[in-house]
Amino acid sequence: MKTMGDLVGNGPRAAAIQRLLELGALRTTYMALTPEIYQRLKETDDSALIVYECTEFGKAVVEEAAERLKLRSPEMIAVLEKSYEEERLRLQGQVNRT
């Protein structure tokens, strides 16, 4: 985190994560700190020592939301797959630069 804006901007995200944890839709796991991860944390703003995973209840919530939002329509699947691939390539480029 570099600025007060970064801190304030993450407030709604942190509150949402906290609420999902309280509801049992997410669970927290912690990554083991290795020399490689430690070096990455020193070089970036990545705070990926905490990993959030969907619980079975969380997966059911996501499934219901997807159904209600019509995310399974062929048009939305195409848009989401394209967006996923673009993000994957962007992240892969970041990894390759380090």
> In this predicted structure, what is the pLDDT of residue 83?
95
> In this predicted structure, what is the pLDDT of residue 1?
47
Tell me: the pLDDT tens digits for 26-55? 999 888 888 887 887 777 765 667 889 999
CA angle 92, 36, 94 (to 5 degrees): 20
Which sign, positive or negative, has the C-alpha torsion 44, 46, 47, 50? negative
Tell me: the pLDDT tens digits for 1-20? 455 555 556 788 889 999 99
